[in-house]
A and B are shown apart, each in its own frame.
Chain A
Amino acid sequence: MLLSIRGLEKRFSGARALAGADLEVEAGSVHGLLGENGAGKSTLIKALSGLVRPDAGTIRLDGTPVTIDGVAEAEALGFRFIHQELSLVPHFTAVENAFVGRRYPRRGPFIDRRAMAQAIAEVARDIAPDLPLDVPAARLTTGQKQLVEIIRALTGAPARLVVMDEPTASLSDGEARRLHQAVRRLSARGVAVIFISHRLDEVMALCDRFTVLRNGATAGSGAISEIDRPGLVRLMSGREELAAAPRAVPAQSPAVLTVSGLPFGPGEEQVSFAIRSGEILGLYGLVGAGRSSLMKIVWGARGHDEGEIRLDGRRLRPGSIGGRIAAGGAYVPEDRRHEGLITSRSIAENLAIADLPAVRLQPGLPLTGLGALKRRAQAIQAALAVKMGSPFDRPLTLSGGNQQKLLFGRWFGRPIRLLILDEPTRGVDVGAKAEIHALARSFAEAGAAVLMTTSDMDELLALSSRVLVLAGGRITADLDGAVLTPARIIDAAFQHASRKDPAA
């Protein structure tokens, strides 16, 4: 047994994150680590990397107990990590990021930039051939950042154990498949991989063993071949998975959002589309295809010179977010840490910031009432089943999936006409995912137009009544009904490869 963890416990100021977790990983295996949001997966990983010091329990490597006091020690043991929250140096390029904390190739006393670039280009060729390696990380999309993290973990001295905490959360099918291949190559070389994911189908396809955590303790483990998807769900939550409701097909309802003649993409070609009342329009594309950019323009976070966007017939001023909110718009951004949460403010305030008048002490006075803040937070907590302590805790004390629910909850309590969801369930467990899907559907049923992006093909098919595919800044397909199949979608998503814009 390469790695054997027994009875690991960890408390965070009262809250139990780990309560006797066990985990055994063999060399050369791909081990799926599963559990609901807040089950303790990331905490377990952090104990392995020396970022969290466990209160009790043992970690054995090749049968000998080890204590891991820091990242450097963990790396020296041959461990590599992809952490759940993206952590790149914003003004470093992919190449530079991959070498942070590593041994640099040198020429004399100086670092050898050419050798660095070469080493990374080699790894990138297999994982992400399209990833721009010489652009600062701050200008990469979330998915591209994730790819950089993956490359980082696979670079350098050979590892014995690679831990991946939700590496595919913002990758679409194409990139995810390349990662799967890389993982298989690793395991063929005898490297053990711990793979955390909320995409159960992926886990079923990729992993050979699994361990399920529930409330910080191991609820079960075994070989993937001996269990099926419902069985995993039952182990994780103790409940049955909610069957995905069939796609709602909207009646001939009026268009709520119309986008016409919007210049978009590297060629500034014009984009037009409409979403009818009750419709959920899914946007699909590869990493970097421009989905988030398009949604940001629709949301008014970026301006546009030509074209127009109308909501319920009224023209929206380019670049005015306030105008969208007033007209009944709502937006869930993709990167919760950088675009979503105000981490220095309480959970309750994060939930209220977009609609402060709703938590006034007196309707007429611009004074915020603590009671109202708390009531609003508790109502949202109940509605979305957020696992949290006090509404006045900081959002970062929540698990990733629960943080995601906060972004959703922010828009509660107002009539919603337009709902923009950029990767709404990134890092959310199956149970919560179903709840969020139900929520999106209920907004749609109430008459809102929903514009959604997801990298998860299952989610896309489960939710959307129509799908637009973006490739290289252009809409390459508009699919619904019978032609809405994974094959058609993927095909359209890869279209740009053949006609790559030389100016891009």
Chain B
Amino acid sequence: TDVTILTPYISSIPTNEMAQSFKAEGEKRGWTVTIIDTRNDFGQLASRMEDTVNAKANAIVLISTDPAQVGDQVDMAAKAGIPVISLDGSKRDNVAVNVTSNNFELGTQLSEALFKAMGGKGNIVKFFHSAHPGVHQRELGLDATLKNYPDIKVIADHFVKVPGPVDDGRVAMENILRQHGDKIDGVWAAFDDPGIGAELATESEKPDSKLIIMGIDGNAQAVDMIKSCTHYKATFRQDFPKMAELGAEELDKILKGGKADKDEMYVPAVMITPETLGAKCS
């Protein structure tokens, strides 16, 4: 059984983790899993999907892509009788199931946690990357939450450049610290990489600052920082292995002639803090 994973974002940590977990799940079931990445290029993603359909793969897994962006190709796969499932995407006709954690929800959870930790007031710095539809949803979650917290102000924001998000975040944070210094109470990172950069900057420029950093993804380096009692206080870990496992289970059913249970399944995110890691930070 040939299963092809298609994604434009393989070098991003969550995507990679999902892809690798799914590959492992698939191989457990005896599938041959191939990973195809198109380096942020959606035109090419469409082409590679056409090729996969032409090569008569048995199933296609889209990761971190809105299936609407390759809608025609999804329909083409349906016509060829090839099932398509999506991880960390959204639901659509001809997509058997989308297994995801709700990005808008993640954004809201992150914002709530951060604002609570700040005592409901203060200034935050926002690191965002709206070019990625999923990450953009988290930003919308922030905007919605901000309405409930009139005392929280975004005093600086930065569009994170990829590739190289950690260093880009670091350089931006160094400069923002120069300008705003102790006025910064929190850092809202739409994903962990710029948060890590912000922590590195704070550690070298203003180690005594009281600011709090929180992000999303459960990136290993971020988890390590949380454990080491740095300014990094929390990350929301989407359960990628779980998503991959669920996706594989559903696909298995479909390949055996069955149907997916639901067209969208949510895997709740887990909040990782010093406490959950058993670290004692005073």
Direct contact of A and B (CB under 8 A): no
Q: Which residues of A does B touch, CB under 8 Å?
A: none
